[in-house]
Amino acid sequence: MLLHLSTWPEVERYLTHRRAIILPIGSTEQHGPTGLIGTDIITAQAIAEEVGQRTDTLVGPGIPVGMAHHHMAFPGSMTLRPSTLVQLLRDYVMSLSAHGFREVLVINGHGGNIASVTAAFYEIYEEMRLAGRDTTPPLRCELCNWFLMPAVAALQQELYGEREGLHATPSEVAVTQYIHPTRIKIAPLDPHPGTSSSFSDWRDFRTRFPDGRMGSDPSLATPRDGERFVQTAVAEIVARHGDFLNGV
């Protein structure tokens, strides 16, 4: 059930028995020579929608642009300042809280968002405390990074081993191939996609990872793999966050 495809009376009925909502967040950033710039929101959105369907939970609007400063040396990348992302998520969650939503599960497709989203949760809690606007039952926010979940990591290892890498990975590319099979891109990949796992700013990132990949080989990706990653991620999210989505 997507909030965007619902009417307000339908949401009103939903809120008579449920209080959870799922928010997908991604990024708009380079994903190597063959990865789609929208990879992170495409993957998060697909997984979020599937989790919503399995658990009868409403899925709210996505956040398509995240914190991607380190990719800004690559054309087409966009970034929010962390401070903007914090205020954006605050407005999303405060709006939902006003209607009675109490469990907000953010399904995230981009590592660069983790700090800002986590900071946003505490910004929200603290603003509510300072304003004397804490609710009963309390608002609860959880972050789920689908690509870091143990079962997903196991599948990454099984399918790609070390060639999974850290950015523009075959696993995330595979999911986009599964969702957008007509948009599978082919381009030459530098055989040495960087071996570092650390970097500082946007210039340093491009120096270390000239074509945008961090040690990954996205040529391994297939749409079929993508389907498996979606299924694996969804199953694990349902297992780990199912109670939360049910208000437990």
Please, which residue, 67 or 214, has the CB nearer to its own copies? Answer: 67
Give yes or no for residue 131 binding its own copies (CB under 8 A): yes
Non-local (6+) Cβ contacts of 9 within 8 A are none
Show contacts with its own copies in window 44-103 (CB under 8 A). Answer: 60-62, 64-65, 67, 69-70, 72, 74-84, 86-88, 90-92, 94-96, 98-100
Only segment of 128-136, 150-158, 220-228, 231-239 that touches its own copies (CB under 8 A): 128-136
Judged by CB under 8 A, the number of residues near its own copies is 89
Helices (H) and strands (E) in the chain, counts: 8, 4
Show contacts with its own copies in window 147-186 (CB under 8 A). Answer: 180, 183, 185
Q: How far is the CB of 158 from its own copies (least distance, A)?
A: 26
If DSSP states are collapsed to H, E and C, what string results for 6-36?
Answer: CCHHHHHHHHHHCCEEEEEECCECCECCCEC
Residue 180, SS3 per DSSP: coil
Please, which residue, 128 or 238, has the CB nearer to its own copies? Answer: 128
Q: How far is the CB of 246 from its own copies (least distance, A)?
A: 16
Rounded distance between C-alpha atoms, residue 177 and residue 185, angstroms: 9
Rounded distance between C-alpha atoms, residue 236 and residue 153, angstroms: 11
